Amino acid sequence: MQHLAVIMDGNGRWAQKRHLPRLMGHRAGADALDRTMHWCKEAGIKYLTVYAFSTENWKRSEDEVSGLMKLLSHFIKSKEKELVENGVAFRVIGRRTDLSEKLQKEIAALEEKTKGGDFTLIVALSYGGRDEIVRAAERLFEKWRRGNMPRREDQVLTRQDAASPIDEQTFASCLDTAGIPDPDLIIRTSGELRLSNFLLWQAAYAEFYFTDVLWPDFDKAEFDKAIASFSKRDRRMGGRGK
């Protein structure tokens, strides 16, 4: 497996069970992310994508949103040294312009400093699969308008047309995940059985692993279970399989 993606869900319920504020659940979730990154590296996985904040999560209370943004900013600042020392490249996918200018700058600086790491941590922030696809279409259109794409005048290009410059590869190169292989396995914690707008394009042939464990409780035993389950899957990709 090259790429593991995780929908880190259940922080709120974890806190509620302990009569703690929701933000304490998110803090405990950040620790679970630290551990998971370590296990991924040990297992030889090259990419870990985590869903940290969706385009829909802005609907939450101002308190929770600002607490989460502070936590993210803290994560970025406090992790720099560790990520650099451990060869971890940091990358953010999502609608960055929604974030404060300060946070945008911190992200860009960390991405620059960690460039070239042999393990990549991708954080989905103000991320929605549909939003990403719409932004990719906008980028594609912009390329087309500037003449950066093969173009034949006076012709309506369709997918059937061999000359159409837009194929899946071209489209994927306009997504935030350009250059990152599709996820092999997507884990969702906390018992919810849905994607909630995560990696819609990229999940086309991903395997799924759902567990009732709440994200802050995600431990090595559960990680191993997910990997073992994945290794038993027959990924036919539309073909005839093993």
State the residues that interact with Mg ion by CB under 5 A.
Answer: 9
Q: Which of Mg ion, ligand IPE, none is residue 8 near (CB under 5 to 8 Å by kind)?
A: ligand IPE
C-alpha span between 11 and 204 (Å, rounded) = 27
Residue 128 CB contacts under 8 Å (≥ 6 apart), including other chains: 54, 55, 56, 94, 95, 197
Task: Choose between 10 and 129: whose C-beta lies nearer to ligand IPE.
Answer: 10
Determine which residue in the list 13, 95, 135, 139 makes contact with ligand IPE, applying CB under 6 A.
Answer: 13
3-state class (DSSP) for residue 233: coil
Please give the distance of CA 15 from its chain centroid, rounded to a whole number: 24
Q: Within its chain, how far is the Cα of 73 from the centroid?
A: 17
Residue 78 three-state SS: helix
Catalytic residue (one of 11, 31, 34, 57): 57
- 57 versus 73: smaller Cβ distance to ligand IPE: 57
Using the minimum distance from each CB to ligand IPE, give the nearer residue, 115 or 194.
194
CB of 44 to ligand IPE, least distance (A): 25
Angle CA 203–7–96, to nearest 5: 85
For position 11 contacting ligand IPE by CB under 6 A, the verdict is yes
Closest CB to Mg ion: residue number: 9
Q: Is 73 in the site for ligand IPE (CB under 6 A)?
A: no
What token pair was written down for 177?
A: 């995940």
What are phi and psi for residue 58, nearest 5 degrees?
-65, -15
Of the two residues 24 and 166, which places its CB atom closer to ligand IPE in the complex? 24
Which are the catalytic amino acids?
A: 9, 57
Give the footprint of ligand IPE on this chain (CB under 6 A): 7-13, 51-54, 57, 68, 190, 192, 194, 196
